[in-house]
Amino acid sequence: MQAYRNFHRFSSSKCSSLSIFRILDKALPLHSKLCIRLMSDMAGSPPPSKDGGASKRKATDKPISPPPVKRKGQSAISKGAVASFFTPTSQKPKDRTVWMERGKDSSPATLLVGRFEPESGEPQDRKKRRKIAAFDLDSTLIVTSSGKKFGNDPADWKWWDPSVPTRLRKMYTEEDYRVVIISNQAGLTLHVDPNSKGPKNAGKAKVANFKQKCAAILAQLNIPTSVYAATARDEYRKPRIGMWKELCNDYDIPEDEVDLQNSVFVGDAGGRTARVLSEGGATAKDFSCSDRNFAHNVGIAYKTPEEFFLDEPPREFARDFDLATYPYEQEEEGKEKEVLFEKTNKRDIVLFCGPPGAGKSTFYWKHLKPLGYERVNQDTLKSRAKCFKAAAGFLEDGCPIVIDNTNPDLEGRKEWIELSRKHDLPIRCVWFKIPKALCEHNDAVRALNKCLNPETRSALPPLAFNGFFSRLREPTVKEGFQHVLPIEFKFRGTEEEYAIWAQYWS
């Protein structure tokens, strides 16, 4: 620092640059000289030569080219971010979206809720708006601006149609609607399983990006509203109505006081079928019917974005599983009860064949247990070997048995047929002829409703159903069965149980 002061003092005097360097060269130590040379280069003055400056550059010397101009590096930090960093907290714009996480009982939270209130200076809107306009998010209110199916960048979005924000504001300000967003977001994870493999912070980044995107969407919309995002396959996920119950509770509107006739849900998952356009090309079918089924469960009108925002006519749609096919049939007084299974042998083996969720276990408890049959079930015993051991034990005790497993393939059934021959017993097959979509529905109903789940079974993954139907070979008498009894599905339960069953759950 002292060297710098001396240099500055001499340079401001009338001394020549050469004189200054000669004086400093004698007075300063080596490291200070290096500093002076560096400052000289920065100031544009030539450093002293070894001969004291006696030799000058000859006229014939080639001109020295100026140093190449360096390009400025592009900073990854935007000017706005820098300005925001130096802006006092009191002067920064306040994020008007408040986030919270919710879950059922003691389970980890799976529902993400964002509540937006505009900065209008007016009292918070606490009016009970009984007309509800609910909207899906992706491909309904917004799409990606990049054209990708899913955008990771929180800024990668635009309105599905320019009319969207104006239409929603009008519904709130002029038509007295409560406007909300209800969305399935299976790609988000609010709480990472500590035993899971992979990076622990990847889920946090996705959640943060989603919050940032939604905050920008709600800020542009600028009306009091909320967004509900279901992140797991539980009671919150559409078409289940857990998110609807939450919003009614949040806005203090009892469900039976909602104006269902004038309320609406808008979403792109309407089960629309593919079609060929007259002008050429084609329109793909919808990936699911969950939005239409959600509106059905709630009891409100359903519209696609094209119908609601663009006034296009409805398209044809189809459900993989239609509740209308399975109406409730009340038992008539005096009518004999339907007999689905009869005991035709004193002792035998009954083999079930049917997919998960077909009602096999319920069928056993209602129709075979009263006839004295003992149950062998791999879900309970945990291994096939233990099933054969338990079956052999029951047969040695003289008990008829039921093999309550899925048994889709010939090889698996053959082992049980051989066991029946070993014990010189007839074997019968009960074949549950039930479509996959109905099985998935039954499985979801069972898993999410304790009153219909006496064995406390968890929901099965799609692989369980796909695996069964890929391996399925329909059972026949030729395999060695005494006979094969086909069972078609029919809801058999109370009217209260049917009210639960007769909603769309998957």
What tokens does 277 get?
A: 């356009």
**Main-chain dihedrals φ then ψ at residue 9, nearest 5 degrees:** -65, -45
Instruction: Decide: residue 350, CB within 10 A, 0-12 exposed, 13-18 middle, 19+ buried.
Output: buried
pLDDT at position 198 is: 65
**pLDDT on residue 38:** 46
CATH label, 97-192+201-319, candidates 1.10.1060.10, 3.30.300.30, 3.40.50.1000, 2.102.10.10: 3.40.50.1000
Equal fold, 97-192+201-319 vs 349-501: yes
**pTM (two decimals):** 0.78
CA distances for 192 relative to 105, 360, 382, angstroms: 18, 35, 28
Q: Where are the alpha helices (DSSP H) in 359-433?
A: 360-363, 378-381, 384-396, 410-422
CATH architecture for residues 349-501: 3-Layer(aba) Sandwich (3.40)
Q: What is the phi/psi pair of residue 498, to 5°?
A: -65, -35
Question: Which pLDDT does position 302 carry in this prediction?
Answer: 98
Question: Mean pLDDT by 10-residue block, N- to C-terminus, for the chain (506 residues)?
Answer: 50 49 50 49 49 48 54 45 49 77 89 91 71 98 92 92 98 96 95 72 87 96 97 96 97 95 98 87 92 98 98 95 92 78 95 96 95 95 95 96 97 97 97 96 95 90 96 97 95 92 96
Which 8-state DSSP code applies to residue 317? Answer: B
At residue 55, the pLDDT reads: 46
Give the start-to-end residue ranges of the domains of the chain.
Answer: 2-43, 97-192+201-319, 349-501
Burial pattern 168-195, b for ≥16 Cβ within 10 A else e, equals: beebbeeeebbbbbbbbbeebbbeeeee
